[in-house]
Structure 1
Amino acid sequence: MDELKEINMGLWEGQQIDLIQERYAKEYFEFFNSPHLYQPTGSGETYQELLDRSNVAIDQILSLYQGGNVLIVTHRITLKTILGYYGNKTLEQLANLSDIESTSLSKILIKDDIHSIEMYGDISHHRQGEATQEKPEV
């Protein structure tokens, strides 16, 4: 679903990180540390725009599969934003959540319209015996 694609980075797409940090230092800092203030360069999208579009997809999925189990595969910032939303975090609080590594697993339980984060960014499957990341406070 297009609504679950990664955040549109605008002019940053395809650029090297050190170049972005040099040319867009304020925006780069805000992207990771103050998501509620982040304003993209070029035709990118804000975190609020990402949240709005991803919630459209989640609402569609929930309406189609009420009471069922659903697997959603998406990208790092999109997933972190969705988990923040279902963890009752504001966009400002999003920066305080742990980063999400590639191929990590997260689980949101929704029962009787009450949602909780059951697993957040678990990478224990990467290597035998690796500890899971702690569940964030919600």
Structure 2
Amino acid sequence: MKTTIYLIRHGQTEWNVERRMQGRADSPLTLQGVEAAERLAPKIPPVSAVYSSPSGRTMQTARILFGSREVVVCDDRLLEINLGDWEGRLQADLDLEDPEQHPNFWKAPHLFKKEGAETFSDVAGRAAGFLDEISGRHAGQSVAVVSHTTVIRSMLFSVEPRDLSGFWRPPAVYPASISEVVIVDGVSRIVRFGCTAHHEHSHCGAY
């Protein structure tokens, strides 16, 4: 029996371009983000269910990808990492204002700890729990999940473990990219990691 789970990151947002921290706060897709999602839509095989983070940017992406073809089920476990009062802030400003934890977020995520924010371990726990649950619920089916980079990477690393210190090591999970996990007879493996073959400048991470 084969189960396939497509993990899709939302399209590029205005805050991605401005290099602002997003987290649970939201920013709409750019035109480029919309177009990338539109190019991805016909490349996604038929699925039995669609799950999404309830954030505006993921729901906007899910509507572009699936329109009225599928009912989108929101799940809070798919929300991006909670960054507290960093959300909406420019990364350049945080480099100056929090010279310990902001570099830790990107370069030493296993050490990242900020009051009012989640840790990477927190995200890993809820992401892995979600993946295990839907894998069982949709055994033998194909499912799409629209979420955020930290959550998607956490789910992928629950399949093929990686130490948190190397969380951001390539391959990347680009905006409007698709990753694919296949489960056959209880054995999970990553087939695609952050693939953007549908983009103008394509990349498909081997893993």
Of 79, 92, 98, the residue aligned with 2:165 is 92
CA distance in 2, matches of 1:135, 1:60: 26
1:58 partner amino acid: L
Does residue 15 of the first structure (1) align with residue 89 of the second (2)?
yes
User: What is aligned with 1:39?
Assistant: 113
CA distance in 1, matches of 2:163, 2:186: 19
Q: TM-score, normalised by structure 1?
A: 0.87
- Maintained 8 Å contact 1:3/1:57: yes
1:115 partner amino acid: S
Cα deviations by residue, 1:64-113 (Å, 9 ceiling, x for unpaired): 10121111110011111211221221212323232211100100111122
User: What is aligned with 1:133?
Assistant: 204
Does residue 73 of the first structure (1) align with residue 150 of the second (2)?
no
Cα deviations by residue, 1:41-66 (Å, 9 ceiling, x for unpaired): x3110000001111222222112101
Structure 2: any 5+ residue segments left out of the alignment?
1-74
- Maintained 8 Å contact 1:117/1:135: no
Query: Which structure is richer in relative contact order (CA contacts within 8 A, separation 6 or more)?
Result: 2
CA distance in 1, matches of 2:185, 2:163: 22
Q: SS at 2:142's partner residue?
A: coil
Identity %: 24
Q: SS at 1:67's partner residue?
A: coil
User: What is aligned with 1:114?
Assistant: 187
Cα deviations by residue, 1:9-54 (Å, 9 ceiling, x for unpaired): 11211112111111112212111122111112x3110000001111
- Maintained 8 Å contact 1:105/1:121: yes
Q: Which runs of 4+ in 1 moved over 3 A?
A: none
Question: Greater share of strand residues, 1 or 2?
Answer: 2
CA distance in 2, matches of 1:47, 1:16: 20
User: What is aligned with 2:176?
Assistant: 103
- Maintained 8 Å contact 1:10/1:44: yes
1:25 partner amino acid: P
User: What is aligned with 2:25?
Assistant: none
Shift of 1:132: 2.6
